[in-house]
Amino acid sequence: MALLQISEPGMSTAPHEHRLAAGIDLGTTNSLVASVRSGDATTLANEQGEHLLPSVVRYLPDGSVVVGAEAKAVEVSDLNNTISSAKRLLGRGVDDIKTLAGNLPYTFSSSDSQVPKISTVAGDVSAIEVSAEILKALKNRAEKTLGGDLKGVVITVPAYFDDAQRQATKDAARLADLNVYRLLNEPTAAAVAYGLDQGEDFDEKIIAVYDLGGGTFDISILRLNKGVFEVLATGGDSALGGDDFDHVIAEWILQQLGDEQENNPTKLREVLVEARRVKEALSDADKVEVSLGDWQGQFTAEQFAELAEPLVKKTLFACRRALRDADIDKEDVMDVVMVGGSTRMPIIRQRVGDFFEKPPLVDIDPDKVVAVGAAIQADLLAGNKPDTEMLLLDVIPLSLGLETYGGLVEKIIARNTTIPISRAQEFTTFKDSQNAMTIHVLQGERETVEENRSLAKFTLRDIPAMVAGAARIKVTFQVDADGLLNVTAEEETTGVKSSIEVKPSYGLSDAEIESMIKDSMTNAQADMELRKLREAQVEADRTIEALDSAMASDGDTLLSADEKTKLLAAREALLLEKQSGDTEAIKAAIKNMEKTAEFYVARRMDGNIRTAMAGQNIDKFKD
């Protein structure tokens, strides 16, 4: 790169440097990484040819981690140390966990941190750290495949993710040492993957993206106009996914079994595994044989449709609501994009098609479509396609507001407002000489404080003494392009300005992140030291072995008793140092051994030549 580049806007300086970029779909069940190579966006496979990385992380006693299929394989046998579905915990507070924890097999530790931690043999870990391990694995895979460092990534998040969950995702990326160009809503990524902006035969086009993953459901209504993607509305359910469909089948099996199996976790797991198999088999068949132990049965697509009806309906409600929020009629939706492995279920395709009155788009693998779209966007943001006009405009998924009197919430920024956005609102004091004011930031659609999610609470102090109602407290909300919020407050009338910035309560504090990064660096350092020590120890063994074998072969003929004693003393010293665990000391002992043996080596070289000439072979002292 030249030190200084001058170019007209829109003109790229040739030749353009291709920046390596990737799109990451950080999923609840599986994660993927994709990149644009020679113009094509494709997901990247590991050495075994697998594209999906199970979002499972196992912690081992020595502090090392195993990510993916290998971790998933031991999930049942090492339940406490193998974390899956960490995405469900991202951005959740300690209180949320109390309601969620009943369904989770992990032990949560009580700590001072706002972020709940799971106890493992390698210490306490947060969902952010677990997610960072998954991101690291994908980063390594991408850098290995692409042959260089990633300049930046686009990470997808459910459109429904609130501020704390987005912040947590970004924190995880920071821990994984990734430069995040942008957090992108998963449905938007899917629309990009289908290249729905490419057609020329329309001015404006409305798209619905129906995304049913393992653990979450999202519906988004997008508008496309001349390369600009606008998210008009999003909705969904962050606790509804394919797993719930497994559960309805599992419940049916348990009913058929008829005995008290509910309290047997191993049995329950077997039932769930079978339920999942049955669900997947129903994608290609109208009826499936079910067997569990001695019991045999049959389950039909019709039965499944009936049992799954409440779940399907729940998703269709959300579709209706999103259409209404977007102020769009069903008939105006031109394309329906299917995302997430669960949309392989014929019942889902059927019902969604009926609802929107057109067959949904299913051509791109629903597991990969989000990562592919993210890769296209990452390539664009990296500046590899300077001529592309595509622009993605996102909206904020949930309203942001402040607590006012009576425990009510005053909305400052309504949901589905295009971001980035900043908005200010003025408040005043209600008592004479009131010198402080508490500002409570909330997210959600409900009217009372208790029913919304508390994001932050802080106090503006040092308000100058004034009569009630005279002070003007300006509270400013700023939401960036990733949907992350920053709140500042200041008193304006007297020119005295106090202001404070807040981060969501459920994110990690900067100090926590710093210490985690430091820890991971210390760990990396420790890993390197350990490797050096191992290398030195191996080298020591090799040196000793070589000496032993040399002395065994010609020690008696080439060495005097005195010389032998000297060499054995050096050998003894090296053996002792080898056990010390001090890399430098071992290296010094090896050096000393070599120096002591120099004369012997020289003597053997002579002997070596002679024996070589005699057609015999002798062990070399040094290789």
Nearest CA among 171, 177, 84 for reference residue 136: 177
Query: Whole-angstrom Cα distance, residue 152 to residue 211?
Result: 25
Identify the DSSP state of 20. Answer: P
Q: Does 422 bind another protein (CB under 8 A)?
A: yes
Instruction: Please identify, among the stretches 256-264, 289-297, 423-431, 434-442, the one whose residues bind another protein according to the rule CB under 8 A.
Output: 423-431
Instruction: Please identify, among the stretches 27-35, 360-368, 420-428, 506-514, the one whose residues bind another protein according to the rule CB under 8 A.
Output: 420-428
Rounded to the nearest whole angstrom, what is the least distance from the CB of residue 192 to another protein in the complex?
Answer: 12
From the list 119, 238, 478, 592, which residue makes contact with another protein (rule: CB under 8 A)? Answer: 478
Q: Does 328 bind another protein (CB under 8 A)?
A: no
Active-site position among 162, 211, 274, 394:
211
Nearest CA among 557, 535, 539 for reference residue 608: 557
From the list 68, 152, 187, 213, which residue makes contact with another protein (rule: CB under 8 A)? Answer: 152
Q: Does 226 bind another protein (CB under 8 A)?
A: yes
- The answer to whether the beta carbons of residues 311 and 245 sit under 8 Å apart is yes
From the list 421, 470, 601, 618, which residue makes contact with another protein (rule: CB under 8 A)? Answer: 421
Q: Does 391 bind another protein (CB under 8 A)?
A: yes
Q: Does 470 bind another protein (CB under 8 A)?
A: no
Q: Which residues pair with 288 in a beta bridge?
A: 299
Active site residue 98: no
Q: Does 506 bind another protein (CB under 8 A)?
A: no
Active-site position among 163, 171, 186, 577:
186
* Residue with smaller CB distance to another protein, 70 or 331: 331
* Residue with smaller CB distance to another protein, 337 or 395: 395
Q: How far is CA 395 from the centre of its chain?
A: 22
* Residue with smaller CB distance to another protein, 154 or 589: 154
Dihedral angle sign, alpha carbons of residues 579, 582, 588, 594? positive
* Residue with smaller CB distance to another protein, 34 or 184: 184
* Residue with smaller CB distance to another protein, 246 or 379: 379
Query: Whole-angstrom Cα distance, residue 43 to residue 27?
Result: 14
Query: Which residue type sits at 570?
Result: A
Which residues inside 282-321 make contact with another protein, applying CB under 8 A?
313, 316-317, 320-321
Q: Does 481 bind another protein (CB under 8 A)?
A: yes
> Structure tokens of 4?
């200084």
Active site residue 246: no
In order, the DSSP letters of 51-105 are --EESEEEE-TTS-EEESHHHHHTTTTTGGGEEE-GGGGTT--HHHHHHHGGG--
Active site residue 368: no
In order, the DSSP letters of 492-519 are -TTS---------TTSPPHHHHHHHHHH
Rounded to the nearest whole angstrom, what is the least distance from the CB of residue 330 to another protein in the complex?
Answer: 13
Query: Whole-angstrom Cα distance, residue 104 to residue 75?
Result: 13
Query: Whole-angstrom Cα distance, residue 502 to residue 489?
Result: 10
Number of C-beta neighbours around residue 525 at 10 A: 10
Q: Residue 303 to residues 110, 288, 300, 437, 505: CA-CA distances in angstroms?
A: 44, 11, 5, 58, 45
Q: Does 228 bind another protein (CB under 8 A)?
A: yes
Which residues inside 155-194 make contact with another protein, applying CB under 8 A?
181-182
- The answer to whether the beta carbons of residues 514 and 464 sit under 8 Å apart is no
Q: Does 322 bind another protein (CB under 8 A)?
A: no
Active site residue 186: yes
Q: Does 389 bind another protein (CB under 8 A)?
A: yes
Q: Does 383 bind another protein (CB under 8 A)?
A: yes
Instruction: Please identify, among the stretches 103-111, 332-340, 385-393, 597-605, the one whose residues bind another protein according to the rule CB under 8 A.
Output: 385-393
Q: Does 16 bind another protein (CB under 8 A)?
A: no
Catalytic amino acids?
A: 25, 87, 186, 211
